Chain A
Amino acid sequence: MPDRILSSSAALAEALHEEMERDETIFIVGEDLVAHAGIFGQFKGIPEKFPGRIIDTPISETCIAGCGLGAAMTGMRPLVDFHFSDFVTCGMDELCNQAAKIRYMFGGQVKLPMVVWCPDGAGLRAAAQHSQSLESWFVHMPGLKVVIPSEPADVKGLIKAAIRDDDPVMFFQHKKLFAKEGPVPEEEYVIPLGQAAVKREGKDVSLLCYGSGYYLCVEAAEKLAGDGIEAEVVDLRTLKPLDMDTVAVSIQKTHRAVVVHEACRTGGFGSELAARIQDELFDELDAPVKRVGAKDFPIPFSPPMEDFVLPNVSDVLKAVHAVTYR
């Protein structure tokens, strides 16, 4: 069957419709959901089709996260909408001190099947408090899983896996990618967590990326092909658990790696990945692992300054030329 072309928002809505149809313990909780079907239209049709299973809350992330936490412990499968990932700071205690740890502290007697849905990323001229990429905070938190899809088909397959998972999953989606369209399979499918995808094959360098970084890499790979450099684009899709096998196979082939993400470089996921690569694949490397990420600044409100701080395609090209020595 030919794939349809859907936006990420539509792919997400379709996945939620299918999942909520399948399992009545699934519900959505967050701010301003019912009236607008989510601020990005991502819950389109759900208030009408599943009344009572999409719930508006007061403006309190502590309350939203706590609600999801309690519901998950008592047998429901909540999807907690954080509106902007930046607001997770207000739900940190519930997420990190409770959700991440409870299954372990109770000796496995409770499960915590909760999805924390976090629109993130910059480029919308939304200034420092509404533009962050915070995924590496949660990668550093044992007990949480971290998923960051790029293309619409990944959004659909991964949100399903996240919902069906019995552990709390942080699900980051870049705000600029909601409208991005792509082919989505007609038939039912789930993309298991911890499975990266080689989306473009190449033999000269591995571009390891996720979320918005994926699109930078695709564009860079296209340009590099013109220079005779064949870049392999590996979309990690899940940062935790991490599909190190796919990364290893790629690097064993290319011997060079560049990690690309929108989060700032210092302490970003690229640091962790580069460390693991040098540890596990030292003998395969023909160049130091390069990281491409935002500069270490709060995202500026001024558009030229925001663009200056964010990583771009030429940053990726520069890194690739450095590691391929050409």
Chain B
Amino acid sequence: MPTEIKIPKLGLTMTEAILVEWSVGAGKAIAVDQIVCVIETDKVSLEVQSPAEGFMHPVAEAGSRVAVGEVIGYVAEDEAALAELQAREPAAASATGKAAAPATAPEPPEKAPEPPPSPAVKPDRRPGERIVATPAARKRSRELGVDLAEVAGSGPGGRIVLADVATAAEAAEDERYEGMYDFGSVAPESEMLTVEETVPIRGIRKIISRNMKLSLSSQAQLTLHTEASARGMRETRALFNTRLEEGQVPVPYNAILVKAAAAALRQHPRLNAVVDGRDIKIWKEIHIGMAMDFGRGLIVPKIRNADAKSIRVIADELGDLVERAQNQKLVPDELQGGTFTITNLGSWDIDGFTPINNFPESAILGVGRIVDKPWVREGAVVAEPRMALSLTFDHRIIDGALGARFLKTLKDRIEDTRLML
């Protein structure tokens, strides 16, 4: 009696899968648990193992959609059974191409061969064979730390091109952070719920997803809240913006905040650091990232060496970064290598919040809205512009008192910007 190979149900909501490829050709001998095919759902890719020992008779075509529980092939117990199966239903064309050996007189293997090490495409090269790659692919592989020997080439004659390196780097990244985005299917199966839309987690969403998870799972994060007067900052901004020269962009609050944070970091360098293995590495440079979102996911372009730049220069750079971020003209270098981040939700009327560190950075400043509040100044109640500040930091390396001192230093500079001179 032939054994059926069925599509397994991998999650509560799973109803179908794509049969990506047959790993074993039609008529080939197989062992129990040997990989027979690869299937893919919108969540995972999975290798299906043989339920029995015998001879392979695949019937579903690679590339087709198959329902959960559907029979996609059979394992015949012997050659006679195989011939019977073949007579009843022809083998899938997509699996016959691989069947090098004729279906007659195959030898059943003694034991299962080693399953392939990974579903990623591995190159088929002889040992010592020269690796043919374009100069750009070689350069990119050095930059990304990708070993070309592990990359399959898709160009003419197996030439490795840029796209192959990118694919390999992504596969390596996925492997490294396996489980970082995928927790299996957890969506409840209920008649009262229907999926309106399925959005695959990939591209920028995948990176954000991974970094957020890494940030919260690897650090001990704590958030302190305080409030600062925005009067000084407002006056400083007006000072610049009433004297704009032709072609100059107005100075935004964010430029002053970047400057103030850079000055405070210079004073408390421990917040400008990263935990690297068993060491705390304190950076010499202060590169402040400014969180931005233009509807295509969170991005954090950097102001380099912000402590050495004037508010005017920072304003110009921010203006340029915002413009290019909107037009998707930022290059990857501008989004990497930060040491501290500022995220400002003031324009959405948010006050204090608990930002998550921009991994692997160790601190992030959340800025709330500026709102007039009654305030006692020189014995009288006046309307005072107040602004919430939230500092999240990695408590493993930054003690509470240090975090508080940093926030105080920062607050002083925001309230009286002359301290930054």
Question: A286 and B162: CB pair below 8 A?
Answer: yes
Closest A residue by C-beta to B165: A286
B163 interface residue per 8 A CB criterion: yes
Question: B162 and A255: CB pair below 8 A?
Answer: yes
B13 interface residue per 8 A CB criterion: no
Instruction: Please indicate the chain B residues that have their CB under 8 angstroms from the CB of A39 in the complex.
Output: none
Question: A282 and B135: CB pair below 8 A?
Answer: yes
Size of chain B's interface in residues, with CB distance under 8 A? 12
Interface stretch, picked from B94-102, B136-144, B200-208, B255-263, is B136-144
Instruction: Please indicate the chain A residues that have their CB under 8 angstroms from the CB of B139 in the complex.
Output: 283-284
B155 interface residue per 8 A CB criterion: yes
CA distance A282 to B154 in the complex (A): 20
A287 interface residue per 8 A CB criterion: yes
Contact with A along B133-162 (1 / 0, CB 8 A): 011111100000000000000111000011
Instruction: Please indicate the chain B residues that have their CB under 8 angstroms from the CB of A282 in the complex.
Output: 135
Q: How far is the CB of B396 from chain A (nearest CB, A)?
A: 41
Instruction: Please indicate the chain A residues that have their CB under 8 angstroms from the CB of B163 in the complex.
Output: 325
Question: B136 and A325: CB pair below 8 A?
Answer: no
Instruction: Please indicate the chain A residues that have their CB under 8 angstroms from the CB of B155 in the complex.
Output: 287, 325
Instruction: Please indicate the chain B residues that have their CB under 8 angstroms from the CB of A285 in the complex.
Output: 134-136
Instruction: Please indicate the chain B residues that have their CB under 8 angstroms from the CB of A286 in the complex.
Output: 134-137, 161-162
Contact of A284 among B136, B154, B161 (CB under 8 A): B136
CA distance A62 to B381 in the complex (A): 95
CA distance A284 to B156 in the complex (A): 18
Instruction: Please indicate the chain A residues that have their CB under 8 angstroms from the CB of B136 in the complex.
Output: 255, 283-286
Q: How far is the CB of A207 from chain B (nearest CB, A)?
A: 18
Greatest chain B CB density within 10 A among A282, A283, A284 is at: A283
Instruction: Please indicate the chain B residues that have their CB under 8 angstroms from the CB of A283 in the complex.
Output: 135-136, 138-139
Contact with B along A287-326 (1 / 0, CB 8 A): 1000000000000000000000000000000000000010
CA distance A282 to B155 in the complex (A): 18
Contact with B along A236-258 (1 / 0, CB 8 A): 00000000000000000001000
Greatest chain A CB density within 10 A among B136, B137, B156 is at: B136
Instruction: Please indicate the chain A residues that have their CB under 8 angstroms from the CB of B162 in the complex.
Output: 255, 286
Closest A residue by C-beta to B161: A286
Contact with A along B158-180 (1 / 0, CB 8 A): 00011100000000000000000
CA distance A255 to B136 in the complex (A): 7
Add 10 more A-B contacts to A283-B136, A284-B135, A287-B134 (CB < 8 A): A255-B162, A283-B139, A284-B139, A285-B134, A285-B135, A286-B135, A287-B155, A325-B154, A325-B156, A325-B163
What are 15 inter-chain pairs, A to B, with CB distance below 8 A? Answer: A282-B135, A283-B136, A283-B139, A284-B135, A284-B136, A285-B134, A285-B135, A286-B135, A286-B161, A286-B162, A287-B134, A287-B155, A325-B154, A325-B155, A325-B161
For the complex of A and B, list the 9 residue pairs with the smallest distance between their C-beta atoms, beginning with the closest.
A286-B136, A283-B139, A286-B162, A286-B134, A255-B136, A283-B135, A282-B135, A285-B135, A286-B161
Could you tell me which B residues sit within 8 Å of A by CB distance?
134-139, 154-156, 161-163
